[in-house]
Amino acid sequence: VFRELDTVALLGQTLSKVDKNIFMSYLCQNYPECFENTQVTSDVQDISKLILEKFGCELALKIAIKIMLEK
């Protein structure tokens, strides 16, 4: 549980530095399953939790890093 909380906090901090439109566009194009049966939100914290739930800690962090490197 603590690891997930730390990961959400880290994702939130990392993704808060990325333009939300670029981030959402990247997710829609590369990980459309994030938005299946989910109302799209622009809140970074909610998106961080969603990515963590869908992909787990490791892949969620890899996605965040990849987005930061591409920006």
Average pLDDT, the chain: 76
Q: Which two tokens stand for residue 17?
A: 């530095």
The pLDDT value recorded for residue 2 is: 46
Q: What is the pLDDT of residues 17-43, one digit of tens each?
A: 777 777 778 888 888 877 776 566 667
Question: What ranges in 1-71 are assigned the alpha helix state H?
Answer: 2-15, 20-30, 44-70
Q: What is the mean pLDDT of residues 51-63?
A: 84
pTM equals: 0.63
The structure tokens 């049966």 sit at 37
| Domains in the chain, number | 1
Domain that holds residue 17: 2-70
pLDDT of 3 higher than 70: no
